[in-house]
Amino acid sequence: MTAVVYGVLYLCAAVFAIACVARAVLYAKAPIHLRWELYPVPHEEAARVQHGGSYFEQLDWWKHPPSFNLAGELSFMVPEMLFLKALHEFNRKLWYRSFLFHFGLYLLIGTVGLVVLAAVLTLAAPAAMAGSLGLVLHWLYMITGMVGGALAVVGAVALLVRRLTDPDLVNYTTPGDLFNLCFFLVAFAFMAAGYLLRGPDAPGVVHLTAAWLTFDTSIALPGLWSAGIVLCALLAAYIPLTHMSHFIAKYFTYHSVRWDDAATANNPKIAAKLAEYLTYRPTWSAPHVTADGKRSWADVATTNPWEGGKK
């Protein structure tokens, strides 16, 4: 039984990692698209970020060296990632629910990190963990775990209620959307119940994690807690397979689309990519495109089917 739980954990961790990487690679390998930025672009010079301006506001903009305002970008990204700033600004009602849920998840991710750290330290430096470091880590993961779990559950229930009751969402809610939220709730419920009711003989989380890391199957895991662990592992593996992997997508929607204002002039990397794309052979069928699968984009773009007044 313990070995099966370990196996599921390993497998799900692998699926999570592979699926995340695969998705990121898929998006990263997509061709550089035509520019499609949306202002404000926060890496613009600070004075221009204020009003959402771009380098096009400068006379002879191409004569100025390109600037990159990292502080501006970070001051947008950090509040967005931690506190869902855009939602706070544009959809306050939803933000209350979504923030609870997401912040709860962040705390739970932190809990997992702390528990793994404690387990590694227990294996590598047991003496250090026996002292105050062990105690500090214990309280840290207990607090983040409890608070994170509570926030995530309250947030998920609030989101579920909204999905079920808000007439604006009816058209756009699929059974899968309801399942996703229910999956979170069920997995967390089993995990919490399993952990809290695990009994005096059951291992603690750090002990369990250390055993998992060393594939020590000698510990006995109670059934309810095993179910909780397995469900949470399956949930983690499931997330990157769905639209909930927006934590990956957001990197691209912001950096590669909304904020991609890189000019082609003096940018050999972009120029090389464009040269490649212009050799692609489109197959669009409308006659005016003049694409037959043999002619390249460069041919199509430099063809004027109406040159000289032709029909």
Partner 1 sequence: MKAKIRLSEMSRRDRVPLTHVAKEELMPLPPPLQDPASTPDWKPLADKTKGAVECGLDDTCALNIPQPKTKEEEDELVKKFLSGLDKLFTRENNWTFLQPLVLTMEHCAKCQTCSSACHIYEASGQNEVYRPTYRSEILRRLYFKHVKHGGLLSAWQHGDVTVNWPLVARLAELSYRCNLCRRCAQTCPIGADNGLVGHELRKLFSMEMGISAKECHDNGSVLQLKVGSSTGMSSLVVKDNIEFIDEDMTEKTGVKVETPWDVAGADVLLIHNAGEIMAWPENPGAFAVILNAAGITWTLSSELAGYDSINYGLWYDDAQFARVAIKHAEAAKKLGVKKIVLGECGHAHKALSVIADRVLTGELNIPRESSMTLLRDIVMNDRIKLDPSRNDFPVTLHDPCNLVRLMGVVEPQREVIRKICPQFREMWPHGVDNYCCGGGSGFAIMSGNNFQDWRFQVAGRKKLQQILNAFSDCLDPSIPKYLCAPCSNCKGQFRDMLAYYDLWEKNKILYGGLVELIVNAMVDVKPGFIEWEWH
Q: Which of residues 31-70 bind partner 1 (CB under 8 A)?
A: 31-41, 44, 48, 51-62
Task: Decide: 187 and 235 in contact? Cβ < 8 Å.
Answer: yes
Minimal distance, residue 140 CB to partner 1, in Å: 30
Q: How far is the CB of 68 from partner 1 (least distance, A)?
A: 15
Q: How far is the CB of 159 from partner 1 (least distance, A)?
A: 9
- Alpha-carbon span 19 to 238, nearest angstrom: 9
Residues in binding contact with partner 1, number by CB under 8 A: 92
Q: Of the listed pieces 24-32, 138-146, 149-157, 202-210, which binds partner 1 according to CB under 8 A?
A: 24-32
CA-wise closest residue to 279 among 303, 305, 300, 304: 300
**Whole-number minimum distance, CB 163 to partner 1, in Å?**
9
Q: Pick from 17, 109, 257, 292: which binds partner 1 (CB under 8 A)? A: 257
Between residue 168 and residue 197, which ones bind partner 1 under the rule CB under 8 A? Answer: 168-177, 179
Please tell me the distance from the alpha carbon of residue 296 to that of residue 303, in angstroms, as a whole number: 11
Taking CB under 8 A as the criterion, which residues in 194-223 touch partner 1? none
Q: Is the dihedral of CA 28, 30, 35, 38 positive or negative?
A: negative
CB of 243 to partner 1, least distance (A): 5
Nearer to partner 1, 35 or 128 (CB): 35
Range 210-218, long-range pairs (CB < 8 A, 24+ positions): 210/119, 210/120, 210/122, 210/123, 211/2, 212/6, 212/9, 212/119, 213/116, 213/119, 213/120, 213/123, 214/123, 215/3, 215/6, 217/2, 217/3, 217/6, 218/2
Q: Specify the DSSP element, H or E, that contains 214.
A: none
Name residues contacting partner 1, limited to 97-156 (CB under 8 A): 98
> Is residue 87 near partner 1 by the rule CB under 8 A?
yes
d(CA 246, CA 170): 22
> What distance in Å separates the CA atoms of residue 81 and residue 251, rounded to the nearest whole number?
10
DSSP-derived secondary structure letter, 220:
P
Q: How far is the CB of 58 from partner 1 (least distance, A)?
A: 7
Q: Closer to partner 1 at the Cβ: 14 or 170?
A: 170
Indicate the residue among 7 and 31 with the shorter CB distance to partner 1: 31
Nearest approach, Cβ of residue 155 and partner 1 (Å): 13
> Which of 5, 9, 15, 84 touches partner 1 by CB under 8 A?
84
Q: Least distance from C-beta 233 to partner 1, angstroms?
A: 20
Does 305 participate in binding partner 1 (rule CB under 8 A)? yes
Nearer to partner 1, 37 or 164 (CB): 37
Q: Where does this chain touch partner 1 (CB under 8 A) — which range of 109-117, 164-172, 187-195, 204-212?
A: 164-172
